[in-house]
Structure formats: structure tokens, C-alpha cells
Amino acid sequence: MWAWNNHAVEKAKAVLEIAAQIPDVMIIPMPDYRPKYPKIDPEEVINPNHPNLTIWGNKIEACIFIGVHCHYANLTLKMIRAGTNCCTMAICAEQGHEDAMLTIRDSDTLKLKKTAQIFKKVREELGIKLPDNGENVRFTGTQSKVHDGKTHTNPMTFMPSAAGAGSAAAFGHSPDQMKREG
């Protein structure tokens, strides 16, 4: 989510390629730090201690965890499986997550790009169309407010760069803001 270094930027671009193949997908960050208390906006971030609020509030039927610290991912995936009917997938750079219904382990940029190609192939085989303008990422209510009421965006238009602050700004977040809140 953040353009910390060139490696992170390349992985982020590959993740956005996956998002570009999923109609009406939402991108909701789950920070690897203590959530903001006492008020947590489940549309803005996934609280690792109460992921069900985001799942229920946004009517999420399937989710993919990408780039989440293993400790938070394992705990959160357990809670999602126990308290919701949401299908879960984890794409992990390490050993994978046994509490996800599907996991891809040892993921690197090449494996993420291959995953995007598989998503595209399956989507096309099923005859699932994407919007002509490429705006298939649906904003949450909070994200929509940041973007003057716009409901969708094209994930390929906000590609991160090593020189920039990353793509988090497209979702109403900045690295400085996240550091202050930690």
C-alpha cells in the first residue's frame, strides 16, 4: 500500500493488476498497528480485532488478504471464518495462512502477476465483463467522500511510484497520517 521502496512499488503494481480483473472489488486497508480507538470507521480500515464489522458493514462476500503481517492475518482470518460467511483468500510472501480458504504462499511480484493473469482468464471464460472505462474498484462510503462522491475508480490510473507517496492517497490515506495514528 505504501511506496516504501522499489520492491514494494513493484508488488503494489502487481496487486493492482489483480484488482483490475475483479468487477466491483473494494480495496480496504488493514494497518499493521494498534487501531484507532475509541472510534474505528469500518469503511476506512479493517480493524484486525473486529474484522466482522467491515465484512458486515460493506457486505463483503469474499476477501483477499495481501501484504498483511502474518500475526494480524492469522488472527483476523480466524475471526472472519468464525463470525461471517465471507470466503477468504490470502496471498502471502511467507508460508501462507492455514485459516484462509485458499492461500498462495511464497508470493513475489512474478507470482502476483501470474495470479492476475489467472483471474483474467477465469473472468473471461465465465463471461464476466468489466466496465469499458476500467472503473471496477468500488469505493467505500468514506473513500467516496474523499473523491467528491465518485463511486468507482480504475485501479490502473493510480499506480504507485518510487518517487511518490504511494497509492494510499487514492483511498484517503497518507503515509504520514498512518505513522501519526500508530
- The per-residue pLDDT for range 39-91, each reduced to its tens digit, is 777 777 777 778 888 888 888 899 988 888 888 888 889 989 888 899 999 99
Maximal CA-CA distance, the chain: 46
- As for how many domains the chain has, the answer is 1
Phi, psi at 54, each rounded to 5°: -70, -40
Task: Dump pLDDT digits (tens) for 158-179.
Answer: 766 655 544 455 555 555 554 4
Residue 117, helix vs strand vs coil: helix
| 77 domain-assigned | yes
Residue 51 lies in a domain: yes
pTM for this entry: 0.77
Name the residue range of residue 148's domain: 6-113+122-181
